[in-house]
Amino acid sequence: MDNIISRKTEDKKELKRQAILKAAADVFSKKGYIETSIKDITNEASISVGSFYSYFNNKEEILLQIFDEISNMSMNAASESSKALKDNVIEQFTTSMTSAICIYAKNKEFAKILFVKSMGINELFENKRTEILDRTTIYLKKLLEHLNTKHLCGIDNIEISSVLITHSIFGVITNWLDERLKCNIKDIISSLCTYHLKALNIDYTAENINKYIDNVLEAYYKELLN
Amino acid sequence: MDNIISRKTEDKKELKRQAILKAAADVFSKKGYIETSIKDITNEASISVGSFYSYFNNKEEILLQIFDEISNMSMNAASESSKALKDNVIEQFTTSMTSAICIYAKNKEFAKILFVKSMGINELFENKRTEILDRTTIYLKKLLEHLNTKHLCGIDNIEISSVLITHSIFGVITNWLDERLKCNIKDIISSLCTYHLKALNIDYTAENINKYIDNVLEAYYKELLN
Amino acid sequence: MDNIISRKTEDKKELKRQAILKAAADVFSKKGYIETSIKDITNEASISVGSFYSYFNNKEEILLQIFDEISNMSMNAASESSKALKDNVIEQFTTSMTSAICIYAKNKEFAKILFVKSMGINELFENKRTEILDRTTIYLKKLLEHLNTKHLCGIDNIEISSVLITHSIFGVITNWLDERLKCNIKDIISSLCTYHLKALNIDYTAENINKYIDNVLEAYYKELLN
Amino acid sequence: MDNIISRKTEDKKELKRQAILKAAADVFSKKGYIETSIKDITNEASISVGSFYSYFNNKEEILLQIFDEISNMSMNAASESSKALKDNVIEQFTTSMTSAICIYAKNKEFAKILFVKSMGINELFENKRTEILDRTTIYLKKLLEHLNTKHLCGIDNIEISSVLITHSIFGVITNWLDERLKCNIKDIISSLCTYHLKALNIDYTAENINKYIDNVLEAYYKELLN
DNA sequence: GATGAATGAGTGTTCATTCAT
DNA sequence: CATGAATGAACACTCATTCAT
pLDDT tens digit sequence for C43-53:
999 999 999 99
Task: Assign B1 a pLDDT band (cuts: 50, 70, 90).
Answer: very low
Three-state DSSP class for residue B89: helix
User: What are the pLDDT digits (tens) for C45-98?
Assistant: 999 999 999 999 999 999 999 999 999 888 887 777 766 666 788 998 999 899
pLDDT (average), residues D192-203: 94
Residue C1 clears pLDDT 50, i.e. is over it: no
Mean pLDDT rounded to a whole number for chain C: 90
- For B10, residues 6+ apart whose C-beta sits below 8 A from its C-beta are none
The gap between A37 CA and F3 C1' (Å) is 18
pLDDT of D161: 96
The nucleotide minimizing the C1' distance to residue B50's CA is: E7
Domain D61-225, CATH class in plain words: mainly alpha
Q: Is B36 left (phi over 0), alpha (psi -120 to 50) or beta?
A: beta
Contact of B18 with B56, CB cutoff 8 Å: no
The nucleotide minimizing the C1' distance to residue B47's CA is: E6
Q: Is the CB of D60 under 7 A from strand F?
A: yes
* Cβ–Cβ below 8 Å for D167 and C174: yes
Contact of B168 with B136, CB cutoff 8 Å: no
Same fold, D1-56 and D61-225: no
Which A residues between 164 and 183 have a beta carbon under 7 A from any strand F atom?
none
The overall longest dimension of chain B from CA atoms, in Å, is 65
Contact of C4 with C25, CB cutoff 8 Å: no
The overall longest dimension of chain A from CA atoms, in Å, is 64
Name every chain C residue with its beta carbon within 8 A of the beta carbon of D109.
Answer: none
pLDDT of C6: 57
pLDDT (average), residues B201-224: 91
Task: Assign A219 a pLDDT band (cuts: 50, 70, 90).
Answer: confident
pLDDT (average), residues D77-88: 70
Residue D15 clears pLDDT 80, i.e. is over it: yes
Name every chain A residue with its beta carbon within 8 A of the beta carbon of B171.
Answer: 163-164, 166-168, 170-171
Question: Which stretches within D36-157 are classed as H helix?
Answer: 38-45, 49-55, 59-83, 89-106, 108-112, 123-151
Q: How many CB atoms lie within 10 A of CB A225?
A: 11
pLDDT of C4: 52
**Which 118-137 residues of chain C touch chain D by CB within 8 A?**
118-122, 126, 130
pLDDT of D109: 92
Q: Which of D151, D163, D187 to mutate to test the interface with C (most CBs of C within 10 A)?
A: D163
pLDDT: is B226 or B36 the higher one?
B36
Query: How far from D122 is each of A51, C35, C177, CA to CA, in Å?
Result: 48, 7, 16
pLDDT of B154: 82
Name every chain C residue with its beta carbon within 8 A of the beta carbon of D32.
Answer: 120-122
How buried is B202 (Cβ within 10 angstroms: 0-12 exposed, 13-18 middle, 19+ buried)?
Answer: middle
Alpha carbon distance C109, D31 (integer Å): 26
Taking each helix axis from N to C terminus, what angle separates D185-199 and C158-177, rounded to the nearest 10 degrees?
70
- Lowest-pLDDT range of B79-88, C151-160, C195-204: B79-88
Q: How many CB atoms lie within 10 A of CB C84?
A: 10
Q: How many helices (H) and strands (E) does chain C have?
A: 10, 0
Q: How many CB atoms lie within 10 A of CB B40?
A: 17
Q: Is the CB of B122 under 7 A from strand E?
A: no
The structural domains of chain B, with segments of one domain joined by +, span 1-56, 62-225
Name the CATH topology of B62-225.
Answer: Tetracycline Repressor; domain 2 (1.10.357)
pLDDT of B33: 95
- Lowest-pLDDT range of A159-173, B64-78, D166-180: B64-78
User: What are the pLDDT digits (tens) for A163-202?
Assistant: 999 999 999 999 999 999 999 999 999 999 999 999 999 9
**Which 183-222 residues of chain D touch chain C by CB within 8 A?**
183, 187-188, 190-192, 194-196, 198-201, 206
b/e code A135-171 from CB counts within 10 Å (16+ = b): ebbebbbebbeebbeeeebebebbbbbbbbbbbbbbb
Domain A1-56, CATH class in plain words: mainly alpha
Nearest to A161 by CA among A200, A206, A127: A200
The CATH code of the domain at C64-225 is 1.10.357.10
Alpha carbon distance A148, A154 (integer Å): 6
The CATH code of the domain at A64-224 is 1.10.357.10
Q: In degrees rounded to 5, what are phi and psi of residue D181?
A: -105, 105
Mean pLDDT rounded to a whole number for chain B: 90
User: What are the pLDDT digits (tens) for C116-160?
Assistant: 998 889 889 999 999 999 999 999 999 899 888 887 878 889 999
pLDDT of C7: 61
Contact of C24 with C62, CB cutoff 8 Å: yes
pLDDT of B6: 60
Q: What share of chain A in percent tops pLDDT 70? A: 92
pLDDT: is D13 or B78 the higher one?
D13
Q: Which of A195, A201, A204, A213 to mutate to test the interface with B (most CBs of B within 10 A)?
A: A195
pLDDT of A224: 81
pLDDT (average), residues C163-180: 96
Q: In degrees rounded to 5, what are phi and psi of residue A87?
A: -85, -15
* Cβ–Cβ below 8 Å for A171 and B174: no
pLDDT: is D193 or D84 the higher one?
D193
User: What are the pLDDT digits (tens) for A113-146?
Assistant: 999 998 889 999 999 999 999 999 999 999 899 8
- For A46, residues 6+ apart whose C-beta sits below 8 A from its C-beta are none
Nearest to D71 by CA among D20, D118, D38: D118
